[in-house]
Structure 1
Amino acid sequence: PGCSGLLSGGSGDLSEGASWSPRDPRTPRLLLAPSPCSPPAPFLLILVPSAPAHRERRLAVRDTWGGPWGESGTPPSRTVFVLGVPPSSSSSDTQRELLAEWRQHGDILQGDFGDTYANLTWKTLLLLRWARACCEGAAFLLKADDDVFVNAPAVATHLATWPAAPPRLYLGRVHWGVAPNRDPRSRHHVPAAIYGAARYPPYCSGTAYVLSRQAATAVLAAAPALPLALPEDVWVGVAAGRAGLAP
């Protein structure tokens, strides 16, 4: 149950009536994991999908928008990077480097799946489940790619002072009326067998988006029925839509 279940290979899902189990084939084994959040939990949990070879990008994030903030009065945050397994051609050396980086910074979450474009949704599923199981007290989650710059202190301050922030918040740059890519030559290809509708529901760009704790729980509750072959940001949007949540 909880974080210990996820870290030991179980689902780690804390929601009532959870549909995941330790035998769920979509529960990747964890190779590296950060320590669970200690009370008091961060107000903003920053979750950054990265790639094993992107060490310099992670260093840049730690040194800038994802690192400790010096502004007094800014809500506290924590940053976690989520990765898959490096390509076999460089796996042993890269994995040793990742282990050293994890020992130094303690902020890497690595699942036992190939780190490929096709597996981006695996990363999002893993980071959301780790957040739910191991940092459940965080009020908001900011998912942001490792090649963007986010004014995270401003985001946190805005969320903390927004009097009308809805409990189930899904916030970002919204894509409307996007049609699935049916071209089998494209890496964005989604066959009708995976998603048959002519249009996706509104969804936030995967570059960066915010989910409140309640919204993240709603997305996870809808996730088991959805194929991981959908594009990552579309997958979140479809799960949100099925949970009655609009961006």
Structure 2
Amino acid sequence: MGERVHEQWVRWGRELGRLRTLAGKSQGDVGSDVQRSRQQVGKLEKATRTPSRDDAQKLDTALATGGVLERLWLEAARAGGFPDEWRDFIGLERKAVEIHEYQMVLVPGLLQTFDYARMLLRRARVRRTNEQLDMLARNRTERLGALDNGPELWFVLDEIALTRTLGTPAVMRDQLDHLIRLIDAEAVKISLMPTDAPHHPGLNGAFRTMMLSNGEHVAHTDHLFGETPVSSPERVAACMSLFSNLLAEAQSPGRSAEHIRNIRKGFE
């Protein structure tokens, strides 16, 4: 079986090969210049290896391109939108007619502001450049406007997700104002789970369910490294049942909206 070609980087790889040929260098020559093997350079040209921005910068220097490869790298990175493991998830999200989500400690990604998302991404134990952080935060915050079917959006949030300061009070004020605007526009429903809820059924972790336009239901659970799809019909049904139980214990959307406004006052 051949290696997988990353379509996002095909154009970049072809340009690398063209510039290398123009410079009269072999893949081995370029590899020596940038401390990569000939095979690694070949994989970059074939787009079976994903280049880093550091790769682009070093290759620009080795080939005296004046920054062409780095600029093309930035263009491809922005166009790529989401990491590979998120593509199916985002595709399903955009086809959904109903999204129900429970979060314990964070504002859901669909509802995050740019500054909130960027702060969260920066705190992850993954090295990213400022440009990568900006791109990922922008892509996350643009997801809500990209939903195709105007789905019903209903979220159950633990109160702590809104009372804990992420970053600075200013970040939280902006995030809470954003939630209030979405609620007032009737774009979303939010039900808060009070910290003193006596029968909290959702302590095993965050999850979401989605109903697609064909009536199919899918679910995802959150973990340290991202989202895991739930494929078993029985487990999807269990997630849907759990969401109903969460709604039964949480505050109503109307009372939750008032509660969110009060939380917002605490960040003045």
TM-score, normalising length: structure 1: 0.23
More helix by share: 2
TM-score, normalising length: structure 2: 0.22
Larger Rg belongs to: 2
Highest RCO, 1 vs 2 (Cα 8 Å, sep ≥ 6): 1
